[in-house]
Amino acid sequence: MNKPCFIAVTNRNLCKRPFFDVIEDLSKKDVKTIVLREKDLSEEEYYEIAEKCKEICDRNGASLTIHNFIDVARRLGIKKIHLPYPVFLKEAGNMSDFESVSTSIHKPEEAIKAQKLGVDFVFAGHVFVTDCKKGLPPRGLEFLADVVNAVKIPVYGIGGINEENITKIMECGAAGGCMMSGFMK
């Protein structure tokens, strides 16, 4: 089995210390990318945070992925974008200027459609119980394995992923897992 691969997903509201200190530390870790997922911000507020995160990531040679705000990514020259599935469907034909385009899916059929529309990889979830989806039952490892088997592109599990259960994600054939709260400490 391959070495566990993590994608860091941010949520500054979970940080126990200054957010940019967390980004500084993340930019020095062995993660595939840092997805700046600050869903509560306006586009302008997001831009300001993304600009500072880009500066930190560039200085440390880390990969930064913009979440949802396509124009922010373009304005900052960031070539990696992660889009919610409905936004991805709407924008799929307009993403050729990005090096990497990913989306979040909740059904194998969505992964198949995303693959056909040219996505580079998907986040599939939520796999385990997570505070981000309070009250919603997790889809589980069988769901994750079904998604992995439905497509040829890499699949990353999301939702409740941590260093203790990443092995289970990898055993399903996933390329890795997305972790939020474990990185925000």
* Side-chain-facing half-sphere of 9: CA atoms under 13 Å: 23
> Do the Cβ atoms of 66 and 72 come closer than 8 Å?
yes
Nearest residue to 166 (alpha-carbon basis) of 155, 178, 154: 178
- The CA distances from residue 147 to 70, 86, 136, 155, in Å, are 26, 18, 19, 7
pLDDT score recorded for residue 4? 80
Q: How far apart are CA 55 and CA 57, in angstroms?
A: 6
> Do the Cβ atoms of 126 and 137 come closer than 8 Å?
no
Which residues, in sequence order, are bridge partners of residue 165? none
Mean pLDDT by 10 residues, the chain (185 residues): 85 93 95 96 98 98 98 98 98 95 97 97 92 82 98 96 94 95 79
Rg (CA), the chain: 15
* pTM confidence score: 0.95
Nearest residue to 178 (alpha-carbon basis) of 32, 53, 27, 19: 32
> Do the Cβ atoms of 126 and 104 come closer than 8 Å?
no
- The alpha carbon of 3 is separated from its chain's Cα centroid by a whole number of angstroms, namely 18
pLDDT score recorded for residue 1? 56
Q: Which domains does the chain have, with CATH numbers?
A: 6-183 (3.20.20.70)
2 Cβ neighbours under 8 A, 6+ residues apart: 170
